[in-house]
Structure formats: C-alpha cells, structure tokens
Structure 1
Amino acid sequence: MAQRGGSAVLPDNPFQDPALLPPRPGPESAALDAYNPFESGAPPPPYQAPAAAPQPPRRASPTEPRNYGSYGTQVPGRGARPPREGLGEQAEAPALALPPSQASAAAATAELLKRQEELNRKAEELDRRERELQNAALGGTATRLNNWPPLPAFCPVKPCFYQDIPVEIPADFQKTVSTMYYLWMASTIALFLNFLSSLAWFCVEPSSGSGFGLSILWALLYTPCSFVCWYRPMYKAFRSDSSFNFFVFFFVFFAQNVMYVLQAIGIPNWGFSGWILSLIALQKNTAVAVMMILVSLSFTGVAVLGIIMLKKIHSLYRRTGASFQKAQEEFAAGVFSNQAVRNAAANAAAGAATNAFRAP
C-alpha cells in the first residue's frame, strides 16, 4: 500500500466502480493536513464540501425494452424531452390532430362510401323492377297484384287495376303519364268542390235543384269513367306503344276537354258552377259567389292543362311512327285473340252451316 501525503490510497483497479473509491487528495486535503489545532492564532481552514464524483452514463441493458413512443409517452431521462408545464391537455392536441392532407383524404373516403351505398340501393331497385317486368312478360301474377285504387285491407272491395309508373312506363314518358294522373286527380277534386258549391247555391236559390242533382251525377259518373275511358288507354299506350290505345285516348280525351270547357263556362242548370253561374250568384250572395269563383278557376285550370297535354301527347304519338293502319291491325289481333270472341264466331259459323244444310 502506498503512502501519499499522510493518507492511504488504494491502488487503481479498472474493474472497480469509481464511485466507491475515496476522493483523491487535493488542495483542500493538504490544507487540512497542515493545520495544527495546538498552535495558537492559526484559524482553521474554511470547510468546503467535496466535489461529487461524476455519474457515469447509464447503459441500457440488452434485455430492457426500448421506448419508441410519441412525445407524450416517453420517460424523462431516457432521451425524451420533459413535457412543458402549464399547457395541460393542450400540449397533446397537436399529436392527436390529423394533417390537412389526411383529413381531406378521410373526407373523400367517406364521400365515396356514401355514393357507393346510394349506387347499391339504385342497383337493388333496378333489379327489383327488372324481375317484375320479367314476371309480367312471362305471365306471372304472383308479384303483379292489383294495387289501384289503394283501398284498406278491411274493405270488401279489392283493387281493380295494377299501376306502377316507374316500373311499367319507359323513362322518357314517365313525367307525361304522371302529369296526366295528376290531371285526373285535379278534375276529380274540382267535381267534388263543384258539388259543394252547387249545394250552397241550392240553399240560397231553391229553384236550382236540377243543377244540384246534376252536380251529384257528374261527380259520380265522371270520376270512374274518366279514369277507365281515357287515363287507362293512355297508360297502356305508353306502356306497350299501342296505336289502338292511342286512338281511343285521343277520341275520348278530346270529348273530355270539351266538357272541361263547358264546366268552366258554367251554364245555369247544367250542374257546373262556372263563370256565368258565379256572376249570377254574385248578385244574391257574396260568400256563395266566392265559392263558385274558386270552382270556376279550378275548371279553367283543368281545361287549359287538358288542352296542353292533348297537344303534347299527340306530338309524342306522331314521333313514335304509329299509324291508323297499325291501330287496325292491333285491334284485329286483339279481337281474334279473345277466347270469347272466337267462341262466339265459331258458334255463329256452326249455326249458319246447320241452317244451310237444313234448308230445302
């Protein structure tokens, strides 16, 4: 063991922890060794704390997991920056926010998913319509139950017609057929209002009983007959491009437009509360006259729309290449394909032949 300056120093050992070695002598230890408390007048040297030994850098063990987390998850002292004080949750907000490019990409993805769902719904609807059309072409009746008029289930009377404009009518003519359907509904409502105004006029003028009775007849007669006589032929004409149904529609709907004009005119005792009867009622009762004027406006609007639609459908008919000869062929084919007509013709021919053989 070596002696240096009155203090023992262990030999240097490279395998020993430097933190466990005693401090090396320095100026402070030399001054302390030279101090003699028995000498008078010599003040003790000032006390100085020994310098702390430098801490060696800590090396991570190979088996210790390393932390590759974000800024907020790293542990201070292991290469991570300590969190700033006073910011709280706001310091972590930038780490959670998405960049503008990623946000726009997420929005575009959500929009594409939404459009894909809409396209899937439209594809399912088209498949359903195609199946219904195929069943109708093959004569299937399982999916083509009558749905018009829409009556409740408890009603003993069942629907008489099958009507589905988006399924049966081509896309180019769906708007025209829908407009004609609304025209029929408007004329029905106008006839009902005409019945109410005729009743009010009958209460003011008892001598107008015939007009009130005719208003009831027109409401009960025109509502079903107009649907069967001109709306259904028009519907079937656009559904199957039938020239015969087009001719039936033009003939009946022209007469219907004439009746619309007569309804708007309002001849007394004809059962129509038109303009003439409204002006007469204006001299006797203002409230009844106002009601009749509203009905007259309804009749006028229906008449104008009916004339416009008649011209429009006629122009569509001329562009389809239909003709009167084609209508005659369709009529003949429809008559001879009817089983009842063929049975009647066969019975008539058989009776004629029997009478011919019995004749002397």
Structure 2
Amino acid sequence: MKGAFLSLWVFVFVWLGGMAGAAVLDPALYVGSERCRGCHPEKYQGWSKTFHATVVQDAKKNPEAVLGDFSVPNLGFTLEDVEFTIGGHWQQRYMKKIGDDYYVLPKLWSVQSQKWQAYNVWSWRKMPYGKYCKGCHVTGFDPARGKAVEPRIGCEACHGPGRAHAEAEGAGPIVNPKKLSDERRDMICAACHVRGTDPSKTYYFPVGFMPGDDLGEHYVPNGKEPEETNTQAVLRMFAKWKKKREEGAQLKCDVCGIPGVAEERDQEKVDSMLEFCFGCHGFKNKYAEHTRHPASVGLMCFDCHVQQTKEIMNPGTQDIHSYGYFLVHKEKCYDPQIEKACVKCHADKGPEWARRTVESWGKPVELDH
C-alpha cells in the first residue's frame, strides 16, 4: 500500500514538473469535489452555487433543472429528448444522445425573456458534444476514453488532480493558482474562456492541459496573429475576454429586478430574491440581526443597499470560489451609506437620526464567503 501511494505521489510530482503534455489521463489521480468538501467546506459551499458547479445537469435525475417551457407547440423536440441541460442562469441549452455522443439541440431557452431562441439550427448535428464542448464543461475529460472524471467543472478542473493531496491530508501536491505566475493563473481560465482548438485541430478545447501548464503548448486560439506565439495569443485574447466580462458584470445587477420597499411584493418572488443574495452572503440564519429590524418588518437586501450608478462601479475582489465572483454585483456597486435609505420608512426621524443610528451599529453581521 505504501509503495502504491509513493508511486502515485511521484507521478503527480512528475506531472507538476511539466510532463502533462500527454493526452492520456489517469482517472485514478482524481478524487472529485465531494472529497474536497471534507477539508474545505466553506470553499465547497461557495463553489457549489457557481456556474461551474451547475453548468451541466442530468435532466433525468434532476427534472427540476429543466427551465424551458416544453408546452410550446412545434418546438422541434420534446422534454423526453432532453438528457442533460447546459446552463440555467442566463440561457439554457439541452442535449440529446444520438449514436455514441451527445448533441446540443437547436433551440435554447432564454431565462430572462422566458422565450425560446434558435441555436445552431443548421449545424447542430455536425457538432458532437465530445468534440466541441465537453472538455470545458466537465473535469478530467479524456477524449481517448470518451469519459470524464466528474460531470461538472469541479475543484480539480482548476487545482489539478487531488488524490495525492487528499490522501496526504493536505500535505501532498496540489495546484494553488494563487502561487502561480499571473500568466499561468490566467491560463487556467483561458483554457475554456478563449476559443480555439488543440494542435491537431480535432478538438475545440485544449486536450492534455493541466493547471500550471503553458496553455500555448496545448491550444491554438482562434484569431491568433501571424507574429504571435500560441501563448501570446492566448494571453491577449483572455485579457480581452476578462475586460468584457467585468464590464458586462456592471449590467447584471439590473437583471435581478428586485423591487424597493414601497413596491408590492409577491412572497414567492421575495424568497427567490433573498436566496439569490444568500448565494454569497452567509448570514441567512442571522438576517434579522444583520438588518437590526424584526423579521416581521420584511426588509429585503435592496431596501438598504441602494444601487449606485454604473459609472462608479469598480472590479471587485470577491473570492473566486464564490457565486458572487461570477454573477452578482461588483464591489462599490451599492451605496455604503445605507442611512440614506432609512428615510424611506422613517421620514419623521430625519437623516441625522439615521446617520447616528447606523453608526451605532458598528460592523454589520456578515460571514466570510
């Protein structure tokens, strides 16, 4: 047993040393995100609510994952055809198995508009999931076997295989992106957020890439300039993608559509909105203590945290394991002077009373996320 463990550890050290170029992947080196949860429960909790954790879901095992309205006539496919869903926050796509692979069906459901939209209508049968998409939607995908270690973007997708780390109770090797150079850290994200192909041009994702590798050795990005190396093109295009994502995040606050205190409220909608905020903010069980108001008042997050104009919003510093890093508001998106909102309900007390009251509270009740 000891010899087997040492062999495993040596293998991972070799991989960390730069021998990860081979496309063959050993599933025995992985443990899955559930195993990571045992030692990193807070990180797991944050990650479990991100797009990464929920990007692909089994529609047969979890029918609630399907958001589209399949009662629409002449849709072209039925709910019975759907075996897996992709996404669910902004848009949702659906997969059906045909032959030996899955294919994304030719319409997607827009979560915001609650409408169907055409998607790859003419080419969807020419784009097998295992060739065009799967490598970025799962963890540890080996095209040679056609299988993945985990059917979602798990912990090891960004940290690399974790068995040696887990079996050594945290003393074994693991990739910590914080300890990588800026370029190598960006490459972990760029592997799926920059479009391109593997060097053989067979797959539309970087076959054989492991966190910590030079992505340019495994990937040829679309839009590469003649004078650029693969690595230079990857980093340039990822910087462009990241900037666009950060600018786009400034608009996402509006999507929630959370009403203010004076508006009529549907309780089901209120509960849904609060769950949205609690995806990041962990004081759900101390909500009344956080707001300094009895639960019967029914305050919502946006009653006090009033949205500011988009011009003053800056990129945030949220924990990348958190739902907030991928979706919710950026730092300084909301006015920190919450006493300005008090007069909506306490018009008779005035702004000076509101300021003194809020200052007397000290630091808000808030848990790390």
TM superposition score normalised by structure 1: 0.22
Higher RCO, 1 or 2 (CA under 8 Å, sep at least 6)? Answer: 2
